[in-house]
Structures are given as C-alpha cells and as structure tokens.
Amino acid sequence: MSNIPENLKYAESHEWVHDEGDGTVTVGISDHAQELLGDLVFVELPETGAQLKAGDESAVVESVKAASDVYSPVDGEVIETNELLADSPEVINEAPYDNWIFKLKLSNPVQLDELLDAAAYASLVKAEED
Amino acid sequence: MLIFEHSRPGRRAQAQAPKSATRLEGIPAALQRKRKPRLPEVSEMQAVRHYTRLSQKNFSIDTQFYPLGSCTMKYNPRACNTLAMLPGLVNRHPLAPDSHSQGFLSAMYELQEILKEVTGMSAVSLAPMAGAQGEFAGIAMIRAYHDARGDTGRTEILVPDAAHGTNPATAVMCGYKAREIPSKADGDVDMDALEAALGPQTAGIMLTNPSTLGVFERRIKEIADRVHEAGGLLYYDGANLNAILGRVRPGDMGFDVIHMNLHKTFSTPHGGGGPGAGPVGVSKRLQPFLPVPMVGTDGHDYHWLSEEQCPQSIGRLSAFAGNAGILLRAYVYAKMLGAEGMQRVADYSTLNANYMLKRLMDAGFTAAYPERRATHEFIITLKNEARELGINAMDFAKRLLDYGIHAPTTYFPLLVPECFLIEPTETEARESLDAFIDAMIKIREEARTDAEWVRGAPYTLPVRRLDDVRAARELDLRWQAQEERA
C-alpha cells in the first residue's frame, strides 16, 4: 500500500493538494501515481500566471513507460512552479510529497471541500489495485 | 563497435570508389568545405563483416516470433520484394513522363481501386508516406471540408482515451483541440460521455475499430449516427484493419475518412521507424480534398492527377508520390491474396489471437477484458504476478527475449496496468503460438523459485538489460571522433 499522508487532500486523478491556509495551495502527484508511472524522466511545468480551471491539464509527467497529464485539482492562478524538476524529475519518485509541482492562488476556495480526504483516497487506490 | 571506430586514415574499399579526386570547378570557394567529411575509411571486407555482424544481431520477424500488439509484425512475403524490385520499376526515374511510366502508374491505379473496394470508401490517395502522415491528411481533409462550407465554429476533435497517442497529436497539428472520451469497463466507448461532448463545436471523432483494447466497438453505427447528427465527421484509424480485412468495411460502418497502414495490414517490411505507407480513403463528400498526386485514367492510359485537376486538394505531402517501393510491395501482396485471401487474413489473425488468449487464461493469466472476444490482438494484465511474485510486465518482456521471442507491446494502452498487448498475426504456425505460452508459464515458474533471476534478464543477447531511465534522461545519440570530444 502506498503512502497517503493524513494532512493532504487528493484528486481522483492522483494529485495531492496542501492547503497553505493563506488562500494558496501546493500541488504534486501522489505516491501511488509515481509508483504507477515508474522512473520519471521529464516534467513539463505550467507557466507562472496561467489561469487554471479544476480538471485542466496543467503539467506533464513523463516516465519511460508513459507521458501523463497532471490535472489542476481546483481553480486558480499558477503563482510558482518547482524549477528543481527541470533537471531532477527523479526527486518526485524519491519523495513525492516533498517535491511539489506548482502552487496556485485559489479563485474558488470552497472547491477544497470537494477533494478527497486521505481515507477516501486510500479506498480509491485500493479499489484500483484490486 | 561503430564503423567509424574501424576507420584508419587512407584505407580504401577499392571496388567502391575511384581513387582520383573530383575537381571542384565552378563551386565558389566560400561554399567549399575546408576539411574532409569524416567518413569511415575501411576496407571492403571490413565493411562487409561489420554489416553482416550487425544483421546477425537483428531480432526481427525473419528470425523470431514478434507478437508486438498494434504493430502487425507479419511475415513479408519474398515475392513482394522480388516483384517490386523488377528493373523496370526500380530504374524508373521519379520524374519520368507518364508515357514512360504506364506500368508503374497502372499498378498504383489498381492499388487505389483495391483499397477503395476493401475499405468501402469512394476514393483513395496513396500520397501519405506513413501512418502519422495519413492521420494528418485525414484530419486536414475534415478541416478543409468544414472550411469549404464556411462552418468554422468547429474547434474540437473527440478522441477516446484508448487511442494511439498520435490521434490527439494529429488533432492539435491540424489546429483542433483534442477532447478525450472515456471508455467503459467493457472496453466500448462511453456513450453518455460521447453524448455530453458532442455539440456545434465538434469537427469530428477519431476512432480505431477494433480499438487498441483489442475489442470491436459494438455501437459503432450508433456512434456514427450521433456524430453525423451533430455535424461532425468520423475518422477511422487503420492501425487495426488486419482484424477485419475483407470482412467488415469502415465505409459501411459510417466512416468518412480512413487511413491505412500498408506496412502493417499489407505486409510491407517495417520496424525501426520505417519506411511506411499511409494511404487515405474518403467518402464522397471529402473526395475533392484528397492529397495529390493520385493516379487517374481515361480508360486507356494512366496519368498523374495534381492540383491542376484537383483544385480543392489539401495539397502535396511529399516531393514525389508516397513511398513507391512500399506501395508496389503492398500491391503485389493484395494481388496475391485476392478478396478471399484478405478474408483469411482477418479469420486467422483473430483465430490465432483467440487461441492464445484462451490458452493463457487456462494457464491462470489474467485477461484485461475476459468477457470479450479478442480481435486480432488482446491484452493480459500481469498485475497479479507483479504483486505476488515481484516481477512486472517489463521483467516478463525481457525474459521472453531469452526464449527467442520478441516481447509484446508493454505498458500500452495506458488504461490497463502491467499490460501486454499481444498480436500474433495470421502468419504464425500453431507451434510459435504454443512456444510463447509455454515460455510465459515457464517464466512464471522461474519467478516463483528465483524472482531475482528473472529481474536480471535478458542473459542471451548481445547486451544485457538496458538502463532505459538513464537513456531517456541523458539522451546521447551522436558519435564523436576522439579529437572532437576534447
């Protein structure tokens, strides 16, 4: 079973969201997602300033198996991207919850309540693994 | 070792090149190179040995079973090569006048007619040089059709999530937004999701039928009707045409445009990136937009058709007329098979796939769509083996090489975890199919006693397991001479 920290929220498309408490969130991909993808070789980051809607394709994570879209879990404006990933995409495999992909300024904070909590995400992952 | 590393200054293959230097008269000094090109300098025998050794390392359809799903790696009949290389065809200059090319042109005209008939379309152009270019031509024609009607509000192409990655890429290349349609658990397109996505912005839908999930889309007529009612057109990706050749025609399913991979379905040599041939066929309403050149006839002589005769054409896709050598091979293949032979292609490719699927399921492997009949290919998921034995699809794939079998397509389609997409084709004997299944069972046994051993495979090839992660992260394809590296 993969690691699913209690303090995060999750999207069904396997992104994690950390609520910074100041109207911004940090987004990455879950341990389960990095495990499925395998060794990452490239991450394409969104443009800072981009306006995203929940469900929009926001980044691309590419492994030797596949290139997968990362979807924005909520509406918001990209305020920062993790430049470390340009040269070292493998840090997501090593520590998926320490190595975030982008930060958003929320335009619709109530959307956070619609995301999965750790328990709900755990049962989603379990259903997928069976 | 590369041929460049065999090179020694001044060594010559005497039979290949005259020793006297060519004089460069009339070329301005500024355009003349200062240094000789770094071509390998080797003897003729060194060159022969080098390339013979390389050919012995080939893992190919001529040496091994090659069940690479979605790629249709079938036997390439030698007769096709022999006849396509008749001196009159090989020595014909691409710019030779029509009057000197009647044999070649008549073969191309007849190939257009055969492909029309077997796909149920109104007209065919042989121009696209490969499958991806055929896709591009197909969607470019859909765009040209809408534009010609002044119907410019159509901005989206629908693509099922099981599609080849080239489909959304093609839509984007043609200036459309690709919109994904999910598949249901049984492999068919989700009709509710399709319904919700259709609208005045829909330019068309790109479908592969049978799909890359190895199942036939059962509601294709309904899909065609709904897309047409919304004003969109249907594009057929010919990747899996082998499964239905001579039995079911895309034109009868309601498709408006189709591309065919002759290098798959019509058995021309491919692998390693080419060469291909991706002819396009269209329904009546798209006919004016077909790419040129095509071959026409006045009932007696054959001639090229270009923009002059086809003013609404999307234009040329290459300098000449497609990959002539490949088109000729496909023509010979089609003529050798005839209509009945084409039906046998569909019959035996699906029989072989279903035989393998059944035997693998009996042996305890997990089918991705167990309730569905396989088409010419099918998917098994090795997620149980990965979880219980610690060997994943990649480990199985690498170990199969040691048993003299090319690995099936791995990790595609992306919807199925730890998957093998297996396509035996109609050209394999039952013994090859059995050998594959026996190897799979044996590898699973090996994993039970020594998983580490399986994870270390392959052991019998010129190279051991390659570090594909490092290769992707530090891509380096260029050889440099010692002195250039410094």
List, for residues B25-37, the tens digit of each pLDDT value.
Answer: 788 888 888 888 8
- What mean pLDDT value characterizes chain B? 93
- Dig out the tokens for B462 from the structure: 């010129």
- Residue whose pair of structure tokens reads 């077997």 in the numeric block: B118
- Same topology between domain B79-337 and domain B340-471: no
Domain range enclosing A94: 9-125
User: Under an 8 A CB cutoff, do B469 and A42 touch?
Assistant: no
> Residue B421 above 60 pLDDT?
yes
For residue A58, what are the CA distances in angstroms to A122, B84, B163? 24, 49, 21
Side chain identity at B104, as an amino acid letter?
A: F
**Ordered DSSP codes for B145-205:** HHHHTT-TT--EEEEETTS-THHHHHHHHTTPEEEEEPBPTTSSB-HHHHHHH-STTEEEE
**Band of residue B223 on the pLDDT scale cut at 50, 70, 90:** very high
Cα(B132)–Cα(B278) distance, rounded to whole angstroms? 7
* 415-444 in chain B: CB under 8 A from chain A: 417
- Tell whether A4 is covered by a domain: no
Q: Which of B196, B132, B140 is nearest to B165 (CA)?
A: B132
pLDDT in tens, B359-368: 999 999 999 9
Residue window 111-130, chain A: list those with CB within 8 Å of chain B. 129
Asked if B127 contacts B294 with a C-beta cutoff of 8 angstroms, the reply is yes
CATH of the domain at A87: 2.40.50.100
Q: Look at residues B261, B264, B246 and name the one whose alpha carbon lies nearest to residue B119.
A: B246
Q: Which residue has the higher pLDDT, B346 or B161?
A: B346
pLDDT band at B277 (very low <50, low <70, confident <90, very high): very high
- Distance (Å, whole) CA B183 – CA B106: 43
Q: Does domain B79-337 have CATH number 3.40.1210.10?
A: no
Asked if residue B291 lies in contact with residue B280, where contact means CB atoms within 8 angstroms, the answer is yes
Nearest to B135 by CA among B176, B181, B75: B176
- pLDDT classification of B18: cutoffs 50, 70, 90: low
- Provide the token pair at B30: 């500024």
Cβ contact (<8 Å) for B414 and A66? yes
Each residue's pLDDT tens digit, A40-85: 999 999 999 999 999 998 999 999 888 889 999 999 999 999 999 9
* Per-residue pLDDT at B126: 97
Comparing alpha-carbon positions, the chain A residue that sits nearest to B417 is: A36
Domain-wise residue ranges, chain B: 1-15+37-51, 79-337, 340-471
Residue A130 lies in a domain: no
Can you give the pLDDT at residue B12?
83
CB B35 within 8 A of CB B6: no
Looking at the 3D structure of chain A, how many domains does it have? 1
Is it the case that residue B20 has pLDDT exceeding 70? Answer: no
Of the candidates B115, B122, B227, B233, the residue with the CA atom closest to the CA atom of residue B174? B233
Tell me the one-letter amino acid at A13.
Answer: S
Beta strands in chain A (DSSP E): 9-10, 15-19, 24-29, 40-44, 51-52, 57-63, 67-71, 76-81, 102-106
pTM beyond 0.95, yes or no: no
Residue A2 lies in a domain: no
Please state the length of chain B.
486
Which helix (H) or strand (E) covers residue B123, if one does? Answer: strand B123-125
Instruction: Name residues whose C-beta falls within 8 Å of residue B259's C-beta, 6 or more positions apart in sequence.
Output: B128, B131, B134, B135, B137, B138, B236, B237, B238, B278, B279, B280, B281
Contact A41 B411 (CB under 8 A): no
Q: Which of B65, B81, B77, B64 is nearest to B425 (CA)?
A: B65
* Residues B210/B187, Cβ–Cβ less than 8 Å: no
Q: Is residue A1 part of a domain?
A: no
pLDDT value at position B483?
Answer: 67
Looking at the DSSP assignment, which residues form a beta bridge with residue B282? B123, B257
pLDDT tens per residue, range B467-481: 888 888 888 888 887
pLDDT tens across B303-334, in order? 999 999 999 999 999 888 889 999 999 999 99
Distance, in Å, from the CA atom of A121 to the CA atom of B57, rounded to the nearest integer, reads 48
Residue B145 CA to residue B232 CA, distance in Å, equals 10
pLDDT attached to residue B15: 61
Given this model, what pLDDT does residue A129 score? Answer: 72
Average pLDDT of B225-235?
A: 98
In CATH terms, the fold of domain B340-471 is Aspartate Aminotransferase, domain 1 (3.90.1150)
Rounded Cα–Cα distance for residues B46 and B62 (Å): 25
Q: Is A41 on the interface with B (CB under 8 A)?
A: yes
pLDDT exceeding 70 applies to what percent of chain B? 97
- Test mutation, A37, A39, A85, A91, chain B, max B CBs within 10 A: A39
Listed range (B37-51, B197-211, B288-302, B438-452) with the worst mean pLDDT: B37-51
Q: Complex ipTM, two decimals?
A: 0.76
Whether the pLDDT of residue B16 is over 60: the answer is: no
Helix (H, G, I), strand (E, B) or coil at B79: helix
d(CA A9, CA A31): 13
Amino acid at B241: L
DSSP β-bridge partners for residue A42: A62
Burial of B232 (0-12, 13-18, 19+ CB in 10 A): buried
B404: left (phi over 0), alpha (psi -120 to 50) or beta: left
Q: Is the peptide bond before B94 cis (omega within 30 degrees of 0)?
A: no
B199 close to A (CB below 8 A) = no
Query: Above 80 in pLDDT, residue B447?
Result: yes
Query: How many A-B residue pairs are in contact by the CB < 8 A criterion?
Result: 20
Cβ of A66 under 8 Å from any chain B Cβ?
yes
B363, B441 Cβ separation under 8 angstroms: yes
Asked, for residue A94, whether it belongs to a domain, the answer is yes
Q: Kindly provide the b/e burial profile for residues B80-96, where b requires at least 16 CB atoms within 10 angstroms of the residue's own CB.
A: beebbeeeebeebeeee
How many residues belong to chain A? 130
- Of all residues in chain B, the one with the smallest CA distance to A63 is B469
Say which amino acid occupies A27: V
Beta strands in B239-313 (DSSP E): 257-260, 280-282, 294-297, 302-305
Q: Quick one: three-class SS letters along B346-414?
A: HHHHHHHHHHHHHHHHHCCCEECCCCCCCCCCEEEECHHHHHHHCCCHHHHHHHHHHCCECCCEECCCC
The CB density around residue A38, as the number of other CB atoms within 10 Å, is 17
How far CA B478 is from CA of A87, B11, B468, B481, B485, in Å, comes to 21, 23, 17, 10, 11
> Mean pLDDT: which of B283-292, B410-419, B473-482 is highest?
B283-292
Q: B282 near B335, Cβ under 8 Å?
A: no
